[in-house]
Structure 1
Amino acid sequence: MEGPIPSTILRNSVVVATGAWGLVKLEPVLALSPFVLNAAIAIGAVTAIGGTLIAIAQIDTKRSLSYLVSAYMGIIFIAVGAQQTDAALLLVLTHAVAMATLVASCGSIILNNITQDLTQLGGLWSRRPITGLSFVVGALGLIALPPLGGFWAMLELADELWMTRPGVVGLLLLINALSAFSVTRTFGLIFAGDVKPMTVRSPENLWAITLPMTMLAGFVLHVPLILNSLSLLPAWATLNKDLALLLTWSSIFGVSLSAVLYVGNFVKKPVQLPWKPLQDLFAYDFYTPRIYRSSVVGSVDIISRITDWVDRYIVDGLVNLVGLSSIFGGEALKYGNSGQTQFYALTIAVGVVLTALWVSWSYIAHLSITTQIVSLLTGN
């Protein structure tokens, strides 16, 4: 997430998509347990809503996009839990190309401006029109706004759940509105508003950066045509028009509300929530890093300290005891060496006798008991 831009694109568009593809392939196994399917939907809903809320509160460009990736992976969890694998795969495709375009356009800005702090950016629309248009295309392709790919993927998933799980459809509408709000906020903080000291000199980037970015934007625009050529788009007669309108209006609502706050000059920036603890909850990622440090990292730290103590004082102590015993024995034996052959021979003979006695002791004891028994029996 915080690495170089190419690695960020791979992480946000390829790596997570590969994981989502693996999850889709595991759907027949998960379907063996209805409890697991419901758990997948619950995990996906919490992840998607939490990811979008956290993304809205981030001031780091790449973190705001990366949390949206987590949110859309949550939607894929919902699709797999609802056994809608076709919609899940369509979401993987449309999300990957749209997010790659967003990350590439933001990366082009970070490369020039040497910052990814959203509070230090602004007023770049007039200076970076190609990058701005690429960002807009990626944002529109990500949310459910027709006729781009994200709309058709979300519509297919919501349509299958329209009759069976209407509550999940409501969650999808909320997640889509929050996602639209988040990407519009990022756009407003980067391209709208006044020029900042970090954005005074910010021309379009080199062709090696701009060309792949525009190619990705072109691919996002052509995704509906590709889906149509593969007969993956619903026919107009079977289209759930009510649901399509709901998805469209949720996108428009999220975009419009965020545009009022972050694109226009109607509200003073930075925008603050009325209740600071709530804003801190979102800004600090629901305090998950602190919980992680105090639980997982803390447990590993305690176990590591115990292991270090055992290794230092018990394992090493035994090894050191053996070493000290060897040194003491060697020091003691050197004073008993006379250098005479007969003394060594006597020592060896005594050792052999003692060893033989020790080995045969059980036999001698058994023989003694046998002799006593025989004496008793014979009366002697």
Structure 2
Amino acid sequence: MIALRFRTKLVSVGIVVLVASLQWSISSDRAALAKARPYWNEAFFDAYDAIETQQLSISSSSPNDIAESLNIDDAIGVASDVYAAPVVDGESDIEDADSDLDSYEISWGEGEYAEVFKATDLRNNQICVIKVLKPVSMRAVKREIKILQHLSGGPNIVQYVDAATDSTGNSTVIVTEHVNNTYYRTLYSAFNDTEVRFYTFQLLRAIEHAHSRNIMHRDIKPHNLLIEHENRKLRLIDWGLSDYYDEDYAYTTSVGSRFWRAPEILVDYEWYDLSSDMWSFGCMLAALVFASEPFFYGRYNDVNQLIKIAEVLGTRDLFDWLDEYEIILPDTFSNVTSWYERKSWPEFVNERNRQRVNDDVFDLLSKILIYDHKKRLSARDALSHPYFDPVREEALAHANSVTKWLV
């Protein structure tokens, strides 16, 4: 069990801290960056390749001196002289806090909803990721931790290591495995047909594992996939919006990112289910196969996003689905009146993607990217689809590569 203690006066212990320094002034551009990126990990990974790591010896420096030298207001720490204790099943036992951030050598930066650090555990020399959540609903924090624990060891799911909360309950730290990720825009464009099949199969394995435990991720998108290509390792990360599915429960539709949101979420249908993740998966598969990311590009809002979907899947099926489930479109969708015929998948083939497309992937997409959420292919059934036949044996044999944490 890792118990973390962290202080804004962390510098006084004389450790060396590596802090990510973006090539632009973070303090001056932070507001613009946060406004432009709705989720912290989007900003983080978009900036990943532009990070210039700066090593500082801070044994005699104050936090203010460091912040000033980096032009960062709050580069280090989230709480003042508070101690972190392990969180087990949502409970905190302060007496069990027997280690602290002195055990870590830290590098990397900050996001809108969390501060995220790459760290080395000096006790075992293993690299990990420390995610310091900014003050949010403690219920949501406990849920994320519980879900990570529940999924621990599952195929292609980021490995949970530990969590801690300070004595005030205002700040929580989640520790997970580290993946040597390649920025997705660089990686995806270089994929061949076999690699698209391999990695989408591995993503499906993660989704199926979660769904088998009645867990919805609710934010599947490229930013939440880490791929260590040299080891053919994929991890589905960021379970902060995930939840347990109960068919008798209505869920918030304030989840996910627009380009990957299922139609039922776009129209505020609160009785959605696990199949919303499969829509997001289908969007990723289409984006990879057709080399068009995002595939459904609603530039402005949810209304425009639904129109972009209708331009591909047609309007007739949209309104048939709305009628079937007695879904009344919100007033904001009043201008969704144009009539669109359904397009066939081969219409999206061009010279850029011709080597990635085939009849099997067209069939798979036609069974996932459909309005009626009850008729979408499940993750388990999708894993058996012929599209994955050429890579299934290799993908299933591929080691899960879960890091064993040695303290």
TM-score interval for Structure 1 and Structure 2 normalised by the shorter chain: under 0.3
Q: Which structure has greater strand proportion? A: 2
The normalised TM-score by structure 2 is 0.24
Structure possessing the higher radius of gyration over alpha carbons? 1
Structure possessing the higher relative contact order (Cα contacts under 8 Å, 6 or more residues apart):
1
Q: Which structure has greater helix proportion? A: 1
